[in-house]
Amino acid sequence: MKYSLATLALFASATSMMWADTLTDSETSSATTDFAKQYNPIHTEAISLGVTPDARGGAMGDVGAATEPDENSQYWNPAKYAFAYSRGGIAVNYTPWLRKIVSDINLAYVSGYWKFGYYDNQALSASLRYFSLGEVTVIDYKTQSEVAVINPMEMMLDLGYSRQLSENFSMGVVMRYIHSKMVYSDSDNEPANTWAADLAAYYTAYPQVGYSECQWSWGANISNVGGKISYDGGATASFLPCNLRLGTSFTFPLDDYNLMSLNFDANKLLVPTYPQSYQFTDENGLDNEAFENAKREYYDMSGIKGLFKSFSDAPGGGKEEFHEINWGFGLEYTYDRRFFLRAGYHHENEYKGNRKYFTFGGGVVLNVFHIDAGYVLSTAQQSALDQTLRVSLGFDLEGLRDLVGVGRRR
């Protein structure tokens, strides 16, 4: 027997809810058939790599490629660390995930950095992600008997380096170890381990608009580039959620104490599309041999080859490739660099996942630490993401060091 219960359960629940959101009782069977043909999300494993870990980015429509650097930039764009205002920081983040479906799925994320070099133009960073799916009961569907109770989980450990290459431009690289225990461990299944890398770039400038100095930044991050992941010793392997993120951020002062930033990100999974049976069906019916060959080629394809193939392999052509791009827009209002209000919107095409939601949140800076919260309000009925709450607690390591130093001098 083979079980990948956690992944299957998440996909099944999300799929059923997206069907409920998209189709109504009044629609005809032909419309239903047409939707089923076009509904073609990208399939990956290590799904928690795509879950937004922090409250700030999560409150702005899942945006962060070019926003102001903070402790959680490791996920959004590690190249930003080289331009961070503080010399070091660390953040602890917690998300009770998919609360409308189950009560024990949680994401914990710790991320931090430290700048060094003569001009503090370099930074080392690290993060740890732990995604727990609670207890899952394994059932033998032939006998309807309980086989075992397991605790599926995923863990990712990152180490990164970033450096300013000019007054306005920086780049960063991250190496990631991935451990995924998503299956029932019998003789045919085992936890999966693999490696991946991120490559990121960040550009920021300070244009003069009228009498005000503004900040305009651009960011890019190709994440999770590397091997595939297998739960059966390499007999079959699935793609990681390799992703291209592009973003821009424009910050302008309203007056001496008030700032406003406009932020936008676009994402595309760099993963090939799974073959569909209708691609190999004509007036003579399904060509099983061609279909099986296409599936075999899909599973044998390397992660790097799949990255390049992902730009031109959608069955629906350019229109479907465009559908694979999801985007987010976020606003951040700042008062005196101490109080923050945030809002945003995230959009994903209904045929590629249908994640559509508004986000809200805020934060406050208290001496050397800050607290942030973010909330998701879905626009799709019965969405699994609705009412998701994120909480983040960040610490300014340079400020803490100064406080300790002052105490020692006294």
Amino acid at 319: K
Q: What residue spans define the domains of the chain?
A: 5-409
Task: Supply 281's token pair.
Answer: 């069906």
Q: Which residue has the tokens 């309980």?
A: 146
Give the N- to C-terminal CA distance of the chain in Å, as an integer: 67
Instruction: Provide the pLDDT for residue 410.
Output: 36
Burial string for 203-240 (b: 16+ CB within 10 Å, else e) reads bbeeeeeeeeebbbbbbbbbbbbbbbbbbeeeeebbbb
Instruction: Provide the pLDDT for residue 98.
Output: 76
pLDDT along the chain (410 residues), means of 10: 42 39 43 64 90 96 97 98 95 87 86 92 97 78 72 93 97 96 67 94 96 96 93 84 97 95 97 85 82 88 92 87 95 96 95 92 94 92 78 90 57
Question: What is the C-alpha separation between 380 and 315, in angstroms, rounded?
Answer: 26
Task: Supply 356's token pair.
Answer: 């559509």
Angle ∠(140,141,144) on CA atoms, nearest 5: 75
Question: What is the C-alpha separation between 131 and 142, in angstroms, rounded?
Answer: 30
Beta strands 281-282 and 285-286 are antiparallel
CATH 2.40.160.40 fits 5-409, yes or no: yes
Contact 370, 85 (CB under 8 A): no
At residue 323, the 3 state secondary structure works out as: helix
The DSSP element (H or E) to which 249 belongs, if any, is strand 243-253
Instruction: Provide the pLDDT for residue 316.
Output: 83
Single out the residue of 198, 194, 193 nearest to residue 225, CA to CA.
Answer: 198
Residue 332 C-beta-side C-alpha neighbours within 13 Å: 31
Instruction: Provide the pLDDT for residue 8.
Output: 41
Question: What is the C-alpha separation between 73 and 69, in angstroms, rounded?
Answer: 6
How many CB atoms lie under 10 A from the CB of residue 292? 12
Instruction: Provide the pLDDT for residue 20.
Output: 37
Task: Supply 242's token pair.
Answer: 């390799």
How many CB atoms lie under 10 A from the CB of residue 109? 25
Contact 38, 120 (CB under 8 A): no
